[in-house]
Each structure stands twice: as structure tokens, then as C-alpha cells.
Structure 1
Amino acid sequence: MRPHSGYGIPIPGRCANTTRGSDKHPRCHHDLATAPSLPFPAESPVIQAQHLLATCIETGKADFGIYTADPQSARVAFADIRALAARFLMVTSRAADLTSDTCLTRDVPAELVTRMPTQKRTSRFPDRPGASAPPSTAAAVLAALNILNQAAFAEAGRHMRSLVEAVSLVSPQAALTVRTWGADISPLLKSVHLAAALHRRPPSEQLRYRAVTSAPQKPPAESGPAAQRARKTPTLAWPGWWLRIAPAQCAFDTIMRQALSAILLIVGSRMHKEAAFTLLGSHLNSSHMSRMLRVLEQSGHWDAVQEALTRVSDYLDSTDSPIDYHRRRHLDYDQLLPDEQWHSICRTVGISAGKQRRAGVVRAVLFERLSAQPTPNTTPRTVRDHKVNFPVWHTPALAEALDDVARSFLDRHHLTHEPLTWEPPTTLLDGLNLPGCDPHTVDLDRLHQLIRGQSQSPTAAAQELDTTPEAIRYLLVLHPAPTTQRTAHRWRPNAALRHAREALPPDDLTRLYTVQQRPLQQIGDQIGVSARVIANLAAEYGIPLRSPREPGHNRTVHIDREWLQEQYVVHQRSAADLAAEPGIGASTLLKRIKEAGMQTRTRGGRSHQRILHRDTELQHIPSPLRRALTGRLGRTRLELFAAAGPYGSLAKAAQALGVVDATLRAAIRHVEADLGFHLIERATPTTPMQLTDPGRRILAVIQAWQHSEAAPAPAFPATDLPPPAGPTLPTTSPSKRTRS
């Protein structure tokens, strides 16, 4: 370390320094036993360092600190100590003020620090700095052992960082490269130097040198391992993985996912950034990677991010991926999910097919899932913009159907051995304080309630669940929210068919429809759907419907014409009663009656049954009154006429009977029109109201009928009669009419 004399052989125990500071002068040869020295206690670092060095000399190897896992020979270890001590002496001799740096002189006794030179040293040998005083040498050896005696390379690098920074002030070139520190130093010291100096390098360089590992090292010249890693890496980083690494506030999700995949290829490799993107089939460039690396570095968790990236890259190098992403990126996806298949899926799972944009969104989702690439720029902008809403209307049934589509697509391309998706285990990230969020900590039941029950957007749900919208969308794709089949008033689109499919397997529908001959409407009422849904389900199951009609018409239930003739014409049954037996509507039955050549009856309202059996009831009513018993108020009108006959005018009769004058007049006019003759002569100023001869006969018949048979009370009170709107009297009425 110091210039030595070329004259004379060094003698142990004697001073080997020259007498005048030149290598041409003889050695001093002073007895070192008589030289003054500093006393230290046994527990002093100086004494412990002497014992450590003596042990290395005796055993011939160094197995302490960084040499524990990989012991080195004593000669190599002493070369490392000499290299570090030389750098320490370089700093203290040329920048004496740096000796006050507590990090640089850590664990060096104060007695040695105070005895070190305090002025810049001039020497004829600047490349071999040194100090003649033993305290400087002891301090340099202690500083070197303070670094080498650390168990981990990262910790040794942190201890060495202050020395490297101090050396950079004196000789920047000596601080950046370790090759000038000695040709015989160990690779372990080079790793420590990398761990100490890489914090000054760009983030990409730190990843290339694997700065966070236990032994950082220079990346190999060949890029073969990185190229093999590219076949195991998707263009878009695995969603469950990038959400943990990327900062939660990062708005460049597509760019960040591609950048993270490319970053995996440069870990421990000399591969250029552009080449990494090219291998992954990405159109990004090196500037995108640099920008995303700055985002990660400024997140405040850069060391954890480096550790995560390194762990994943090591896992890919040591594990075979079940998916060859290079092959996936070059498949032909033009025939992925044709329109016919999409509409069939919608009918099956019970969702609306929507317009062409919705089918495009699902194709884009499938493409991204299978190829692990971003949606191509040739995709319409509306499809790319609305793809973000896909997780909201995604359902478990749709997820199952899309899995079948994806599986069939891979099978057609002879990839039956590959799963649909894959990603490294998330346990690789355990124990790391990463800037992203962990989506697996979100309560799925609460998330489904917010999306389906409260119809919240992913952004609103993310705010309530304290996560990011990207994590919400990832979870909804992975675990779709179940949807209700019915709204408050009707089935959702195509949901009725799905409900019928679940409630009626093929065997059950065959038994009900074919064996038991039940009508479609009855089967539909049993499970709460329409007959058309059951017909569609039967067609899907391949069950032929009964009595198909001509093309263009729905298949209907067969009704025997003779049975219809007997029941409707002979027994006078209503259309509603007859329609209930085959399970069809009354309007459909009336159409069948007309098709059979039979005349339909008029509608009768609530008294329809009574009208159908009118002939039977009229047998007990006097024949002169039968024509007046039309409608539901015929009996009431006859009773009003009979009650008004004794009065002198209709006005007095209405007042006495407690009815409206106009109502009474309308009722009598209605009876006169039904019977075909006048019943009363209206009152005049000089004569009272009188019954005509037909009126007296009708009144007598009514009174006799009321007394001879217990005639039921009127169907409705007189006060409920309708206003006067009855038919007009025949033209045979008297030409002169007066008011009563």
C-alpha cells in the first residue's frame, strides 16, 4: 500500500519504510516492538478485527459476513480488505474533512478517528495513497470489515454506499467501476459494490443488475433467457398481478400493463427496451417504459416493486408456463364469436343481444382474454370506449357461455392442452409493501349488492369499498354479479326462456306435453311463463308440437268440431267455459267457432250465463211480458211502470217512487219500445195521465204475475238506473203528444 524500497529484503518485526520517502533509499529496519502504540481493551473493535484476520490466516479461508454462503480463500478476502481500505485512505488523505462523516467512520473508535490526518496529503504516489501512522491503517481496515462483515449483500451495500459517495467526490470514475480496485478482488465484493452504487443508476439499470437481490451482478451478454421469458409473458400483464404493483392513482392502465410485461424481460438482462416490446407484440416504445418506470419509482415503494418484478421474473425462468403467449399472439381471431353464436348465447343465458356494438364489446373482451393483447386500433372507437362497461352487465351464465366459446376456439386451433387463462401465483407478492391495491380483500357479497341491488357504477362502488375502479372491474369479470330474472312487472329479455329451461328439463316437458297431453298455456302457467316460451323451449328440445297449422301461423290445440257443436250450440255453454278446458283463450275459441261455420253469440257481460238460459227462465214468465225482459234492467222497468200507473202524472209518480223524473220516463219508453205499443196517455193541463187499453192489460198481467209467483226483487235499485237514453217509440205513436 505504501511505496517500498527496492533495496533490501523486508524483515519481520522491523520497519519496512524507506528512510527518506523514496524507493531508492534503504529501509528503516527500526524495531517495531519498541515503537509507541495505542492500547485497546479486549472487546474493542480493533482487537476483534485482529483476531478475525488472524483466524483467516490460520485457516486459510474467510467464512464471515458476505463470505458465509460462499467462503473465499484468505488471499482473496485480504485483497477485498485491501481494496476497501485503499478507497478509505484515498478519501481521508485527499478530503480530510470527510472523516467527520458518521456513516463513513461507523464502528471506528474515536481514538483512531482523532489521530487521522486533518490536512490534504501531498504524495509522489497519488494512485497509491497511504498514511504512515498506524491509526489510519487500523481505521481503514475497520471500515473495510464493517462492510464485509455484513450477512446480506443489500445491507453491505448500504454500509458501502457512504464510501462510494465519498470516493465519487474525489474520483468519480473510481466510484462507478470496481475494476480499478484490484484484479484479484472477489465477485462478492463486486456484488456489494453494485448494491451500493446502483441507487444512483436509472430504474431500468437497477432492474438489469438485480439491485434488490442478495447478490447483484452484471447481466449476461446473451439475451436467450429473456427471449424464452417472452413466450411465458403476455402482452398485457396479468390483471391480478399488475393491480398489486401499479400505483392506485395510475390512469394509464393499458400502457402500464404492457410496460410491466416488457419490464419483466429486462430484469437481469441486457435486452433493449424496444426489443422487449417487439417480442411481446406491443406497439409501445422505450419512452413509454421509461415513463412508467418513473411512475413506479416515485410511488414511494420502489424497493418493493423491484423485489416483486424480480420474483416474478425468477419464477418464469424456473417454471414452465402452461400457455405459450407467443403462439396465442399469432392466432387468427377473425372467426371468434360470430353473430349467430352471439344471438344464440343471448337467448340461452337470458340477456339482451343489443345492437352490433354489444357483440363487438364481447368479442373484444374475448380477444383480450385469449391473446392477452390490447384491443386492436382497428376496432371501432365506440366498442373500445364501451368495453369498460362490460363487467357491469356481465352475468355468471354469460361467463359460462363465453368460457365454452373460448374453449371451442382453442380446441379448433389444436390447443386443447392449454387453459383459457393463467397467471403466476399471487403468493409471490406476499410480504411486500406494494403501491397497488389487493382486489382479493374486497367483500364480494357487498360488491354484488352495490352493483345489482343499488345499480351503482364501478367508480361509486370503488369509493365505498375503498379500492380502485380497475379492481372492481377485475372482480366483476372474475366473479360476475348474479342478476334477477324478473323485474317488478315482467321478465327480463330472454330470461323467461332461461327460467323455463331450468324448471323444465327435456324429460319433464316431454312428459307434460306429449304423455299427459297438457296444453302449452297450462304448462306455462305452472312455472310462470307464457305459452310462447314453452313452445320455443319445445322447439329447442326437438319436441314436435301438436296439430301444426299452415306456414306462418302458430301451432295450436286441436278442438273437435262435433264436441264444439254440442257444447256451444246445444248445451249453450259460454266461450270462456269451453276455452278453459283445452287451456286456450276465449278469443281463440271464438275464432274456432267461426272457422267451424257456427254463429257466435253476442257478449252478455256479467249476466251472460243468465242470458244463455233465457228460454228456460221465460217459461215461468207470462208471454205478454217476455219481450220487455231485455237487458239486465227489464224486470225493473216493468215494475216501475206498474208502480207509476195509479198516479195522475209521471212527475207525481217519480216523486212518490223516489226516482228521477227522466229515469222514470226513459224506463216507460223502453218498455213501450220492447212491447210495440203505447201504455199510457200523458197528462194534459185539463186531463190526468191515463193508461191505454194495452197498458191496462199489461198492468193486470204484471200484477197477476207478482201475486201469483214470488217474483224476485229487481236486480238493481231504481236509483241505479241509467239516464234516459233508451230507444225511440215506434212511428205508430199519436201525432199529438203533451207533457204530463
Structure 2
Amino acid sequence: MTTWSAERIPLAVAPHPGEALDSWLERYAHRLRTHTVDFADFLGLSHASLRRMVRRLDDEEASLLRARTGVETERLREMTLERFDGSLVRIAATNRRLTAPAHWRVYGTTSRFCPACLADDGGRWQLHWRLGWTFACTRHRLLLLERCPACGKHPPVASGGNHRMLPRPEACRALTDRSGLGTRCGYPLTEAPAMRLVVDGEVLTAQEQVNAAIIAEHRSPAVLERAGELSHLGRRALRAIRTRPQQVPAVALDISDACGRIPHSPRQDGSSWEVHDAANVAIGTVLATIATDLEHPHCAEVFAWMCLSSEQESFGLREHPTRYLRNWTSAGPRVVRRILAASDPQLTLKARLRYGTATAEPAVPHLTEADITVRASKTPGMLWPSWTLRLLPPERPHQARIAGLRRACASLLLIPDGPAGHRTAARIMGNAQFRSSLEALLAFVDVDHLCTALVHYARLLDAHDVPIDYQRRRALFSDPAGELLLDESAHWLLCKELGNRQFQQVHLQRLRWQLRRLLLGAEPQSGNHAPAWTHRFTYRTHSGILAFLHQQARRNLDAHDLGDEPVTWEPPAHWLDALDLPQPHLDLPDERVRALLTAESAEHDVARQLGLTVHQLRLLMESRGLSAATRPHNKGTYPRPPRQGALVPERLRDLYERQGLQQLQIAELAGCSSAVVKTALKQAGIQRRPRRGAGELQRSVDPDWLRTEYHELGRTVADIARELGACDSNVAQLLDVFDVPRHPPGHSAPPPWQPSPFTDLGEVLSAPMQHISTRRGGSDWLRTALMVPGHRTRRSAALTLGIPRTSLNHRLKMLETAAGFEIFNHRKRPVVATERGQALLDEARNLFDLLDRQQPRGAR
């Protein structure tokens, strides 16, 4: 037996599943034989509005209804539109007014209705009839009604006004006069004629999809995107029916006829085709569903009809897919991509690249100038040879302007997804002759293939890291008058060793040209054609010359603090695994190509045997680092270049004879190898000092000194040999001669650990500081590191401190290894400490100040 509270009404009326709040209150009042207004006064809701309550209940209203009717608060709130707020409806926070929702719009509290549902449920009104997305009853297969067929008004769900007549539940409660007498229409809504829909037809199918995919999951971001598609395309369809009734597709005519609409005749009530009644929403939703169902047979036809505009009927290519592309953003990214793809045949080359309309993933440009600058830093001035090979059609026999083609591709790579035009892109890449290069590109490459491949290339560069900063290299090495480090003496010796005569001034100029090309990843001069001699160099060059060029390029990079970058780089092949692009000539094995590149082979013959053009062969060899074998040369004596610096005969004689420097020391001063110094001594006619005689080393070394240095101080044989200027084996023999005990196995140097000098300071050391201070030499490393911040580079710091740069780098490396983290950010100018490094340096500075104050003045 149910316990009834004192506040609860003795008679209970349970809400119907899915019923709206005002419909339930109307039925409750009718059960009590009273009017809804009187029932609200009886409940204590005399100042409340049922229209606002059916949208959202406040806490006081929900508490009062629960106490008076016994219905739980959760059930009461389920009978309101509150759970759809922000997705399918919009309710103002202050006055609970309904504002325009994002999609199909229902502004007031009027409700559509199904007469068969009202008859079966005793006049109960469903809450979902108020949603703009509900246009059909799947239960009775009827199109929902908007108005009463007798009075033509939206029938109220609950009876209002100041009359005291008790209306029938199924009757229309709309007022029919303005006299204030409260005359009601009274038409039985259960008998209203409704449009019957075809079983399993397009309209019912669309309503079932909307119920399952939008209304049931209305909070999901994917559902909101889908709702935007259907709503936007549906409105476009209704607008097209109104403005161009003669161009309506047959499938749209059939759907309009099924919903009781005739596009070619005006509406009898004079309303627009864009009025959001049930019939219009049904037509628009069904047509939008067809346009977004790629498997529907009329999908392409309906979508093209929706997108048709006078702008697209004009002739000539355009720079933008549509002037009103922003108006399509509410339709979602899938629809925007289809709009872009559909406009591909009507766009210029630049627009096709910018929007990526030739690819499967077109997109509205979203990158900034800064993003394009980053992409430019990843791209050389000429497209990489492996990527260029994918663009060249294999059947074209002549592709002479291959340099211009590669330059144009590199410039066009900056256009996809960004704001840069072709002129800006060419200026950033340093390709001045872009127009002629573009003509060279379009003369040999299929435009559709080009637009597809370049967009993919650009997006790959945005998604991956490239180990070379090409923008910085262009700033450093593009100027032909700029200085390059090139060891001419080493080149002369190499040529002498190889037995060729390519050491004249013209050869040095060409060598600098190739060196600059190696550093830039592109030819240093602009234009569509490379110099003729470069083709011979690319095809056949001795491996020693190639290694020498690579070594000189590394010297130049190290001189500009680019030692962490490789000399050359080619995108890995696996980047293109997911792309559906042709792979011409990339499956040729290296062994087959190398077997054909003999000393007697001709370039044209090798290309013909591989089924390539000559230019394709050169690109293939460049991408794989291959070169044809060279013919042997007869060695001889050739003119040598003049010596410079420390190798000038007079300067060399002074260093070697008067100052007594060793050959290795002179080589360090001259920046060359000891072999070059040996050759320079011979060429200058300087008599080399004789080697040590037999027993001379043994007579010049004191046995007690050797025993002290080796056995007691723990020095190694190599360390002592460097001091004596002798070989390690000779010093090892002296140990046996003087009966000095050898170090035990595994001994290499004195142990690197020592007591920390900061132990007696009374300070708590951090873990990195405790580890560093107990390493031998750790204090010196810290003092050196304290003087580095503020210098522009480590090299300038070494010059200021008066120590070799290699020694400074060694100390910093040992310090960072002992600390276990990076102390300086060496990529910034000037050199600054990292966050953890700065904390360590501050601790070291404090400890050294305390240590210096404790030491006697004379010991500092």
C-alpha cells in the first residue's frame, strides 16, 4: 500500500512514455475535471508558465511538482527540452526563451503532431515532436502535421486563457476570435488528414536514420558534424527548388511529391519553400541524405545540383573554388572536401595546389607564413632527385630542362595549404627565373599527376623532420662571391696521386661550383640548364675526388657550427609507402646499375640498356650516390701550386730548423696533414733531421724518472711516449730494460675519482654536483663552464679564454656527461644555459665563492 504525503494529490496520473510536460499537466487537469490554469494555481504554480516549464524546470518548480504529484525529479526533467539544449535546441539561460538552434530551426513552443498517435495515446503529445529534426511518424508511417486543418493555426498542447470551459483532450485548443470570450476551435485533431508515406521509402528511412544517428546521440561531436551536413545541404536543396524549379532532378521531384509539394506551382498559402515545416524539413533532409550517401545512385547528381551556381557556369579558370566557400563551413569538413574536389577542373594550377583538390584529401588552406617558412627550411632549391623521378613520365625521350623543372617543383612545394603565391614561393627559395622554369615543368610533366604528387610531398615535409636547414645554407653559401674553405694543396696532392691534371684554375673553379652545389643541395646558379661540364662530372668522377669534396663540405659546415647536419640528405623511401604514386625506375637494383657503369661505358648506352633517358639516369645516380668507374691515368710530375702560410719555404725553414718544431706541430699551424709538411720540406730543399740513433733514447732517459712517472704517478706508456716524442713500443722496451714493473691488466690511467673540494663548506650538494666534484678535473670543468655564457659561440669563447676550441669542447662534453643532462643550449646565439644547466651553474658559482673565501690569500 502506497504512503501518500500530506502535500500529494490523492489522485495520480502517470506520464506516458516520451510525453511532454505540458501535455501531462493538461491530462492531469482533465482527469481532475478542471482547467490547466486552475490546476497550476492549485499546485502552487500560479506565476509559472507551462511554456517555460516544458523547456526547462527550475529547482523550485521541480521540487513542487515532485511533492504534489509523486513523480521523481529525473522523470520530470526528461519531459522537458533541457537535455537537448545546446545541440538540437537553444534555451536562453535567463528567461528560458527558445532561440535559433544551429540546424533545423523551431523558434516557439508549438509542436508538430501525428493524429494517429493522439488517437492511440488518448491525446498525449510526444516531446520529440517539438524538435526540428522530427518530421515523420515511423510508427504510423505518416508525415507530421503542423497546423489544424480547420483553423489553420498551430494547435496548443495545453489550454490557456481566462475561460473556464473544459476542452476535450483530442480537440484543437486554438482561439478562433479576439473578442476575449475564449472561443476554441474544437476540431478533433485525431481525425486530421495526414500524408501517408511509402513503407521503406526515402522519407521514412531518413527519419529512422535521424532518430538513430542524431536525436539519440545528439551530444557526440561526430553527430553534430553529421547534423551540420544534413541541415546545410537540406537548406541548399530547398533554396534550389525555390529559385530554379525547372532544374530540379527527378529524384527530388519524387520526394517532393511524396511529401505533398509541387516545385513548379506556388504554395497555396503563399509561404516560402524555406519555411521549416515538416514537409520542407522532410524534403531537405532526404535530399541531403542522398547527397552524402556515396553509394546512392543519385548521389553525384543531387550534390552537383545543390552546388550549382551562376559562378560555376562561367568560362575560364578561377583562383578559388568558390567565392562563398566560407558559407559551406557549417556543412562540415566532408562536404567542404567534396566541394573542393568537384571544383578541381575549374581551377588554376596554383589554386589546385593550394587547396589540394587533385588529392583524396582536399582542404581549405590553414597554414600561416611562419609554417611555410619552416617548410622552406626543409626544402632545397631544387627538388630531390628521387622525388623528381616520380614526376617524370618514362615515355618522354627529351627532358633537357631538368634543372628548371626541379627548381619549379621546389618553389611550388610552398603553395599547398598556405597563403604563399608562386612569386613569394620563388623568392623564398631563391629561384629567380620561375616563369621559364614553370614552362619547362609543364612541358614535360602531366599536370594532374603534378598537382597530386606535390601536395603529397608538401604534407610529408610538414609531418616529418629534415636533418638539414636548407634556408640557413642558402643564406651562408648561395653568394657566388662568398668564401668557401677548399684545401688546394690537398687537392693537388690527390690529383698527383691519381695521375690526372685537373688541378688548374679552371678545375678549381669547377670544384668550388660542385662544393657549393653539395652544400646547397641545388645548383648555385639559376636557370633551366646546368653547365655542360657538370654532366660529365655527374656521370664519371673518381671516388677519391668525391670523397675529397665531401670532406671539404664537412669542413665548411663545421666552420659555421653545422657539424650536426649531414652533408647531403635524401628523403627515405618509406615516406612514400602510403602514397598511390607511380615508381618509375626505383626498383632497379644498385648491383645492376653499378655493373653497367664501367670505365668504357658511355652515358647514352647505359641509359638505353636500363630503359631510361639520360636525365633520368643522372637523377638515379645522384639519388643513390653512384658514379661510373674512371679510366686509369699515368702518374707524373706536374706543376704545383704556390705554398701559403706556414708552408712558405722561408717560414717553413724558420719553424723547422731554427725553432726546432716537429712536423706534426707545423702541420697543426698550417692546417694540413704531416704528409703535406713532409712534401713541402722536400720541395723547399730543407734537410730533414735524422732519426734517433740506436740506443739514443735509452741514453737520454733517466731510469729513476721513468720509474716515478710510470709506476708511482700511474702514467700510461702512450702518455710518456708523447712527451718523449717516441713510439709506444720504444717506451715499452725501456720499461723492460730498466726493470720497471708493468701495470696490472686493465690499467689505463689513474682513477678519475677524488675527494670533493666542497665537502668542508657545510653546503648540501645536489646529486649532479656531488658526482661532478668527485671526478678528477671536475672543478676545472665547472670553472670553464662559468665563463662560457654570454659568448656568441663556443669558438669565440675559446678565443677569449685562450684555450683551443677542441679543449673547450672536451671540457664541456665531459661536464655534461658527468651531469647527465645538457647544460648549454648550443643551438642559440649567444650561448645560453638550459634551465637545469643554469641551476647547476648558480650552485657552482656559490660554492666557488665560499671555497675562495676559506682559502688563504696566497693560495688563491
TM-score bracket for the superposition, by shorter chain length: 0.5 to 0.7
Q: Which residue of 1 aligns with 2:428?
A: 279
Report whether the alignment pairs 1:85 with 2:186. no
Does structure 1 conserve the Cα–Cα contact (< 8 Å) formed by 2:376 and 2:428? Answer: yes
Give the secondary-structure state (helix, strand or coil) at the position aligned to 1:353. Answer: coil
1:210–1:346: structure 2 CA closer, same or farther, 3 Å change rule? same
| Separation in structure 1 between the aligned mates of residue 593 and residue 219 of structure 2, nearest angstrom | 59
| Separation in structure 1 between the aligned mates of residue 231 and residue 520 of structure 2, nearest angstrom | 56
Deviation, structure 1 residue 274: 1.9
| Separation in structure 2 between the aligned mates of residue 300 and residue 143 of structure 1, nearest angstrom | 32
1:183–1:205: structure 2 CA closer, same or farther, 3 Å change rule? closer
Does structure 1 conserve the Cα–Cα contact (< 8 Å) formed by 2:381 and 2:407? Answer: yes
Structure-to-structure mapping, 1:301-450, within 5 angstroms: 301-302=449-450, 304-315=452-463, 318-319=464-465, 321-332=466-477, 333-337=482-486, 339-353=488-502, 356-376=505-525, 384-434=531-581, 438-450=584-596
| Separation in structure 1 between the aligned mates of residue 358 and residue 264 of structure 2, nearest angstrom | 37
**Aligned-partner residue type, residue 335 of structure 1:** L
1:116–1:196: structure 2 CA closer, same or farther, 3 Å change rule? farther
**Aligned-partner residue type, residue 512 of structure 2:** R
Can you list the C-alpha shifts for 1:519-577, whole angstroms capped at 9, x where unaligned? xxxxxxxxxxxxxxxxxxx99895999xx99989xxxxxxxxxxxxxxxxxxxxxxxxx
Does structure 2 conserve the Cα–Cα contact (< 8 Å) formed by 1:178 and 1:190? Answer: no
Q: Which residue of 1 aligns with 2:204?
A: 47
**Aligned-partner residue type, residue 15 of structure 1:** E
1:169–1:398: structure 2 CA closer, same or farther, 3 Å change rule? closer
Give the secondary-structure state (helix, strand or coil) at the position aligned to 1:283. Answer: coil
Deviation, structure 1 residue 72: 3.8
**Aligned-partner residue type, residue 52 of structure 1:** Q
1:37–1:268: structure 2 CA closer, same or farther, 3 Å change rule? same
Q: Which residue of 1 aligns with 2:113?
A: 12
| Separation in structure 1 between the aligned mates of residue 519 and residue 321 of structure 2, nearest angstrom | 49
1:406–1:455: structure 2 CA closer, same or farther, 3 Å change rule? same
**Aligned-partner residue type, residue 502 of structure 2:** A
1:181–1:20: structure 2 CA closer, same or farther, 3 Å change rule? farther
1:245–1:161: structure 2 CA closer, same or farther, 3 Å change rule? farther
1:482–1:272: structure 2 CA closer, same or farther, 3 Å change rule? closer
Does structure 1 conserve the Cα–Cα contact (< 8 Å) formed by 2:621 and 2:627? Answer: yes
| Separation in structure 1 between the aligned mates of residue 506 and residue 234 of structure 2, nearest angstrom | 71
1:255–1:449: structure 2 CA closer, same or farther, 3 Å change rule? same
Which residue of 174, 181, 196 maps to 1:37? Answer: 196
Which residue of 371, 378, 384 maps to 1:238? Answer: 384
Can you list the C-alpha shifts for 1:137-168, whole angstroms capped at 9, x where unaligned? 655423312344569xxx99978762355345
Can you list the C-alpha shifts for 1:290-329, whole angstroms capped at 9, x where unaligned? 64775688445256415523432322xx52x322212211
Deviation, structure 1 residue 465: 0.9
Can you list the C-alpha shifts for 1:444-473, whole angstroms capped at 9, x where unaligned? 34434444265222x332232122322311
| Residues 349-358 or 420-429, more deviating | 349-358
Can you list the C-alpha shifts for 1:177-207, whole angstroms capped at 9, x where unaligned? 5568589654554444334445533232233
**Aligned-partner residue type, residue 407 of structure 2:** Q
Deviation, structure 1 residue 373: 3.5
**Aligned-partner residue type, residue 612 of structure 2:** T
Give the secondary-structure state (helix, strand or coil) at the position aligned to 1:12. Answer: coil
Give the secondary-structure state (helix, strand or coil) at the position aligned to 1:441. Answer: coil
Does structure 2 conserve the Cα–Cα contact (< 8 Å) formed by 1:246 and 1:256? Answer: no
Does structure 2 conserve the Cα–Cα contact (< 8 Å) formed by 1:156 and 1:192? Answer: no
Deviation, structure 1 residue 225: 0.9
1:134–1:389: structure 2 CA closer, same or farther, 3 Å change rule? same
Q: Which residue of 2 aligns with 1:142?
A: 286
Number of aligned positions between the proteins: 477
Give the secondary-structure state (helix, strand or coil) at the position aligned to 2:512. Answer: helix
Report whether the alignment pairs 1:163 with 2:305. yes
Residue ranges of structure 2 left out of the alignment (5+ in a row): 1-99, 115-144, 155-174, 177-184, 639-673, 687-860
| Separation in structure 2 between the aligned mates of residue 54 and residue 549 of structure 1, nearest angstrom | 96
1:540–1:82: structure 2 CA closer, same or farther, 3 Å change rule? closer
Give the secondary-structure state (helix, strand or coil) at the position aligned to 1:329. Answer: helix
Which residue of 242, 247, 253 maps to 2:402? Answer: 253
1:541–1:369: structure 2 CA closer, same or farther, 3 Å change rule? closer
Does structure 1 conserve the Cα–Cα contact (< 8 Å) formed by 2:389 and 2:584? Answer: yes
| Separation in structure 1 between the aligned mates of residue 280 and residue 190 of structure 2, nearest angstrom | 20
Q: Which residue of 2 aligns with 1:493?
A: 634
Does structure 1 conserve the Cα–Cα contact (< 8 Å) formed by 2:553 and 2:567? Answer: yes
Deviation, structure 1 residue 431: 4.6
Identity, % of aligned pairs?
20
| Separation in structure 1 between the aligned mates of residue 329 and residue 346 of structure 2, nearest angstrom | 24
1:237–1:11: structure 2 CA closer, same or farther, 3 Å change rule? closer
| Separation in structure 2 between the aligned mates of residue 16 and residue 182 of structure 1, nearest angstrom | 33
| Separation in structure 1 between the aligned mates of residue 684 and residue 403 of structure 2, nearest angstrom | 57
| Separation in structure 1 between the aligned mates of residue 440 and residue 356 of structure 2, nearest angstrom | 18
| Separation in structure 2 between the aligned mates of residue 117 and residue 252 of structure 1, nearest angstrom | 63
| Separation in structure 2 between the aligned mates of residue 4 and residue 417 of structure 1, nearest angstrom | 61
| Separation in structure 1 between the aligned mates of residue 402 and residue 191 of structure 2, nearest angstrom | 71
Structure-to-structure mapping, 1:49-64, within 5 angstroms: 49-61=206-218
1:406–1:293: structure 2 CA closer, same or farther, 3 Å change rule? closer
Does structure 1 conserve the Cα–Cα contact (< 8 Å) formed by 2:202 and 2:255? Answer: no
1:419–1:140: structure 2 CA closer, same or farther, 3 Å change rule? same
Residue ranges of structure 1 left out of the alignment (5+ in a row): 64-69, 487-491, 498-537, 553-740
Report whether the alignment pairs 1:206 with 2:352. yes
Deviation, structure 1 residue 222: 3.4
Does structure 2 conserve the Cα–Cα contact (< 8 Å) formed by 1:352 and 1:493? Answer: no
**Aligned-partner residue type, residue 205 of structure 2:** Q
Deviation, structure 1 residue 130: 5.2
Can you list the C-alpha shifts for 1:234-281, whole angstroms capped at 9, x where unaligned? 111222222223445454322222222222222211123222222222
RMSD: 5.4
1:149–1:260: structure 2 CA closer, same or farther, 3 Å change rule? same
Give the secondary-structure state (helix, strand or coil) at the position aligned to 2:419. Answer: coil
| Separation in structure 2 between the aligned mates of residue 368 and residue 161 of structure 1, nearest angstrom | 51
Which residue of 186, 199, 222 maps to 1:71? Answer: 222
Q: Which residue of 2 aligns with 1:534?
A: none
Deviation, structure 1 residue 387: 0.9
Does structure 2 conserve the Cα–Cα contact (< 8 Å) formed by 1:262 and 1:280? Answer: yes
Does structure 1 conserve the Cα–Cα contact (< 8 Å) formed by 2:404 and 2:438? Answer: no
Give the secondary-structure state (helix, strand or coil) at the position aligned to 1:176. Answer: coil
1:22–1:182: structure 2 CA closer, same or farther, 3 Å change rule? farther
